[in-house]
Amino acid sequence: MSRTRSVPGPVPKKRGLHHVFAATGYSIGGLRVLWRQEAFRHELLVASVVFLLHALTGVSMVAILAQAICFAILFAAEAINTAIEHIVDHLSPEWSTFAKETKDLGSAAVFCLLVANGGLAVGVWLRVLGLL
């Protein structure tokens, strides 16, 4: 009698509309994970304030669209940074230089996009106020 274990093969890929619905479900799951991150909730709050101030100061739709794209990129970077942190925590539960530097790099990417969003918002407001 053989003692070999049967290893299941790869899960067949979904096609067509089934793929679209599955991908949407995965994205919603990712947004749920992201929502649990305090940093993301802070960024969302800041984005809300920025868009409110844009509306109150009569910022053009082109500038609002540019800001929306910039914030979307920030949120995507925050999602990637969160994924990196989850992977690193899983692979390196103890403190290590590898873990610290990897997390620092993800954080630096988010920081760059925070600065870009802030610079865009301030530049737009200065332009609307005639100071730029």
Which residues are annotated as catalytic? Answer: 78
Name the burial class of residue 116, with classes exposed (0-12), middle (13-18) and buried (19+) by CB atoms within 10 angstroms of its CB.
middle
Radius of gyration for the chain, computed over Cα atoms and rounded to the nearest angstrom: 21
Distances (CA, A) of 40 to 31, 32, 35, 85, 96: 10, 11, 6, 14, 25
